[in-house]
Amino acid sequence: MGPQAIDRILKKYDYEHFAIIAMLQDLQDKENYLPEKDLEYISERLSMPLTRIYRIATFYNAFSLTPRGKHLINVCLGTACHVRGAARVLDRLKMALGIDVGEMTKDRLFSLETVNCLGSCALGPIVVIGNDYHGQMTPARVESTIKKYRKKSPRKKDEKD
């Protein structure tokens, strides 16, 4: 993100140190993750040690220091989803994507993450891809669900791994 765009975020919170979590949330909303150079810039602008920003960014689960794929897949592992077999759905997703939780596929299409509860327990096991909720998920439906997103975003020819 450009310095001006970052400054707009910082200004929104009056450059107040206590708003650092909200600032990082806004940055991540735009960038999908927290790029190192942006954090360095924020540290400089706020006169806040980079170590402190790093501590916040690694303490809170919602932040990611590595880039995420185009489609973020979140598997709910809340208790309700767990008793309805969420772990089996997650296993199947790992297999289908060939990545572990917290990783991104080589084609940068998918990132796989887990969340502790989305509060949509009636639909469990639930998988959220981007903003789409896929309820009552089964291991058998994993492949076909992912396929839809592969189709939605055909790889550009100039895209590299």
Partner 1 sequence: MKRINNPQALEEIREEIVGSRDPDKPCITICSGTGCHAFGCERVTEAFEAELKKQGLEERIDIRTTGCHGFCERGPIVVINPQKIFYQRVTLKDTEEIVSETLRKNNIIDRLLYSHPQTGEKIVKEDDVPFYKGQMRIIFGNNGNIDPTSIEDYLAIGGYKALSKVLTDLSPPEIIDMIKKSGLRGRGGGGFPAGVKWESCRNAPGDRHYVICNADEGDPGAYMDRSLLEGNPHSVLEGMMIGAYAIGSDEGYIYVRNEYPLAVNNVSIAIDQLRECGLLGENILGTGFNFDIKVNRGGGAFVCGESTALMASIEGQAGEPRAKHIHTVESGLWDKPTNLNNVETWANVPLIINKGVDWYTSIGTETSKGTKIFSLVGKVNNTGLVEAPMGMSIREIVYDIGGGIPGNGKLKAVQTGGPSGGCIPESLIDIPVDFDRLTEVGSMMGSGGMIVMDDTTCMVDIAKYFLNFLKDESCGKCTTCREGTRRMYEILDIITRGEGKEGDIELLEELSWVVSEVSLCALGQTAPNPVLSTIRYFRDEYNAHIKDKRCPAGVCKALITYSIDEEKCTACGKCKRVCPSDAVTGEKKVPHKIDPEKCIRCGACITECKFDAIEVA
**Which residues form the interface with partner 1 (CB under 8 A)?**
16-22, 25, 55-56, 59-63, 77-80, 82-85, 88, 91-92, 95-96, 115-124, 126, 133, 135, 138-140
For the record, the structure tokens of 4 come out as 């001006």
CA distance 75 to 136: 12
User: E strands along the chain, which residues?
Assistant: 71-76, 110-115, 127-129, 132-134
Q: Would you say 18 or 158 has its CB closer to partner 1?
A: 18
Question: Is the CB of 58 or the CB of 155 nearer to partner 1?
Answer: 58
CB of 159 to partner 1, least distance (A): 28
Distance CA 41, CA 155 (A): 32
Neighbouring CB atoms inside 10 A of 119's CB total: 9
Q: Are 110 and 101 in contact (CB under 8 A)?
A: no
What lies within 8 Å, CB to CB, of 84 at 6+ separation is 124, 125
With respect to partner 1, which residue has the nearer C-beta, 11 or 155?
Answer: 11
Task: Report the alpha-carbon distance of residue 50 to residue 39 in Å, rounded.
Answer: 7
- Specify the residue, 77 or 99, whose C-beta has the smaller distance to partner 1: 77
Q: What is the smallest separation between the CB atom of 123 and partner 1, expressed in angstroms?
A: 5
Min dist CB 152 to partner 1, Å, is 18
Nearer to partner 1, 122 or 161 (CB): 122
CB of 110 to partner 1, least distance (A): 17
Residue 160 beta carbon to partner 1: minimum distance, rounded to whole angstroms: 29
